[in-house]
Amino acid sequence: MYKIETHLHTPVISPCGRLTPEELVLGYKAAGYAAITVTDHYKTAAFRYARIDLDTPGSKLDAFLEGYRQVKAIGDREGIMVYYGAEIQFFENDNDYLLFGFSPELLADAKSVCAMGIAKFSDLARADGALLLQAHPFRKHCVPVAPHLIDGVEAVNRHDCHPNRNDLSIDFARRYGLLMTGGTDCHDPEDIGMGGIDADYLPKDSMELAKLLREGSFKILGNDTNYIL
């Protein structure tokens, strides 16, 4: 089995990230993880923080993935696999969505993506073959989205400073037959190693990670036990 973190943030792009790329990689390596996934925030506040100008022409994806690239460079050195993802927030509300296995073109025009909302983006993500999950759907200020718009939910979020109500997320996913994942939502040193998944195999890249999540070839880590879902 291979421990994989599916949800973490870097201070390169995410204002809430408090661990350097080096600290993230070394911390997860010491905690026995085989891989980590960088899901920096893809929203207006993060772009402003990272000084990514949405009003100038051209793709913003290269700038958005800078945190991932820095973590991956250290991961390559330390023997930890590093995947890329994104945590998207649209202008319409405070919901967050985790995206895995996407092609670069999908997130190139950041201003348009954030303005389009989940309904339109859902169609584009599926056409792209990407995996779209709602993160912590029962956290304060979030509302569970219409199930047909997503592939699954982050059923177990271990960022315990928020009342995530993981029990409700699990019930919601089961009720509508949605995929379920788990992640730490790592921001701080004490978050490292708190969650994620225990996978049957180690994906070779970010696209294969999305495939593994679709297959459900893993157990979800949480507290001192595994949620076997």
pLDDT at site 179: 97
Query: Which tens digits make up the pLDDT trace of 135-144?
Result: 999 999 999 9
pLDDT at site 188: 94
Query: Which tens digits make up the pLDDT trace of 105-130?
Result: 999 999 999 999 999 999 999 999 99
Contacts of residue 150, defined as CB under 8 A and 6 or more positions apart, other chains included, come to 97, 118, 122, 132, 133, 134, 178
pLDDT at site 223: 54
Check whether 88 has a pLDDT greater than 70.
yes
pLDDT at site 18: 94
23-28 long-range contacts (CB < 8 A, ≥24 apart) are 23/189, 24/71, 24/186, 24/192, 25/71, 25/74, 25/75, 25/78, 25/80, 25/82, 26/74, 26/78, 27/189, 27/192, 27/193, 28/80, 28/192, 28/193
Band of pLDDT at residue 228, cut at 50, 70 and 90: very low
Check whether 209 has a pLDDT greater than 70.
yes
Query: Which tens digits make up the pLDDT trace of 164-174?
Result: 899 999 999 99
Average pLDDT value for the chain: 95
pLDDT at site 164: 85
pLDDT at site 162: 74
pLDDT at site 163: 83
Check whether 226 has a pLDDT greater than 70.
no
